[in-house]
Amino acid sequence: MPLYEFACRKCEHTFEELVFGDERVECPKCSGTKLERLLSTPARPQSAPSTGGMPMACNSDGPPCGPQCGRFT
């Protein structure tokens, strides 16, 4: 049951909808069926460390601490 993001071509409302198989989707605002499925960016897993886009500082002399290690840049 994928979650898709849509934009209604009639009223320009954007919304997300769970779609099961060939289920027909309609706009919750105007009930329009002329929809455009948008490309959504996947969310970062919550277990991933938040580095703010900057590599982590690594002061270790051991093996690299992972892909976020500052020694890879």
Domain definitions of the chain by residue range: 1-40
Q: For residue 57, what pLDDT band results from cuts at 50, 70 and 90?
A: low
> In the predicted model, is pLDDT for residue 60 greater than 90?
no
**What are residue 7's DSSP bridge partners?**
14, 36
CATH pick for 1-40 out of 2.20.28, 2.90.10, 1.20.120, 1.10.10: 2.20.28
Q: Cα–Cα distance between 36 and 25 in angstroms, integer?
A: 11
**pLDDT tens-digit series, residues 1-28:** 688 899 999 999 999 999 988 899 999 9
At residue 2, the pLDDT reads: 81
Write down the pLDDT at residue 37: 92
Average pLDDT over residues 51-72: 59
What's this model's pTM, rounded to 2 decimal places?
Answer: 0.54
